[in-house]
Structure 1
Amino acid sequence: MATAIDSDQKLHLVFGGELQDLDGVRFRDIKGLDIVGIFPDYASAQAAWRAKAQATVDSAQTRYFVVHLHRLLEPPVA
């Protein structure tokens, strides 16, 4: 049963971790991923991403990402 997501609720996930190499997006330790949180909009997710990215600037292998959860939860438009 598909349900519509509230159009004002655009959930975003911020997470990161140490990559195996800089040429791809394979994490060195999946169990060690840093789940920063789920945010109600892109602006707050981007602020959290920026803070984590700046805090880990000395670790070249560490990357953080913003995932648009609302896109995964919305039913496809036919």
Structure 2
Amino acid sequence: MSEQLLHLVFGGKVTDPSGLEFENTEELDIVGIFPNYKEARDAWKGASQANVDDALTKYVVVHLHRLLEPESD
């Protein structure tokens, strides 16, 4: 079994399409937490493609494993 490397996928409306400042953190769409990058990327891609017509909606992948164990990277 491979090592579990948790990733969080979430998104929402941003103030600027080139940035990562979200307009309203209370309205963020939490897609989920995934056990590896591939599953997280697939979820990110699906959520992003579902909102492709809205330039101000952005989804991101957060490497939770880097936050939980920063000294291991």
Structure 1: stretches of 5+ with no match in the other structure:
1-6
> What is the RMSD of the two structures over their aligned residues, measured on CA atoms?
1.3
The counterpart of 1:35, out of the listed 19, 25, 30, is 30
Distance 1:36 1:13 in 2: 8
2:32 corresponds to 1:44: no
Q: Percent identity?
A: 58
Q: 1:75 offset after TM fit, Å?
A: 4.7
Figure out how many residues of one structure are paired with residues of the other and give that number. Answer: 71
TM-score, normalised by the number of residues in structure 2:
0.90
Which residue pairs with 2:68 in the alignment? 73
Deviation, 1:24, is 2.0
| Residues in 2 aligned to 1:73 and 1:65: alpha-carbon distance in whole angstroms | 18
Deviations 1:11-33 (A, max 9, x none): 00000000011232111111000
**TM-score, length basis structure 1:** 0.85
Stretches of 4+ aligned residues off by more than 4 angstroms:
none
- Structure 2 partner of 1:3: none
